Amino acid sequence: MYEASTQVRVRYGETDQMGYVYYGNYALYYEEGRTSAIRFLGVTYKNLEEIGIMMPVMNINITYFRPAYYDELLTVKSTIRNLSKEDTEVTFHSEIYNEAGKKLNESSIRLAFVDAATRRKTRVPELLYDQLRGFFE
């Protein structure tokens, strides 16, 4: 299992009329969590794009427990529970916590590895799998 955390601060423009973070913005926070988790391994989405790999979201499921508010510092915890070198998809299980450590919501986000030239699924790129291998063997 691979786990990484990053923090994001809620900006004013991300809140709604009630003062809560607008629900659609949590997807952006989860994206920041995913890209940071990969970056912590020494790989960026840009690196993946340079070798012809795209990672479109295929499914996102979010369960909300409580709201986040303007200027709160949130912690996004992203986890990959399993991955093999034959996989053509990866699922990130993520949670967002407020500064008090209370869980605000949780998600499951499934992405595909897609060859940019053919637009078809492909196996997890070696560039990424080599960095994750030790967490799953």
Q: Is 136 helix (H, G, I), strand (E, B) or coil?
A: helix
CA 109 vs. chain centroid, Å, equals 7
Q: Write out the catalytic residue numbers.
A: 16
Backbone torsions φ then ψ of 49, nearest 5 degrees? -65, -35
DSSP 25: G
Q: Is 9 exposed, middle or buried (0-12, 13-18, 19+ CB in 10 A)?
A: exposed
Are the C-beta atoms of 7 and 75 separated by less than 8 Å?
yes
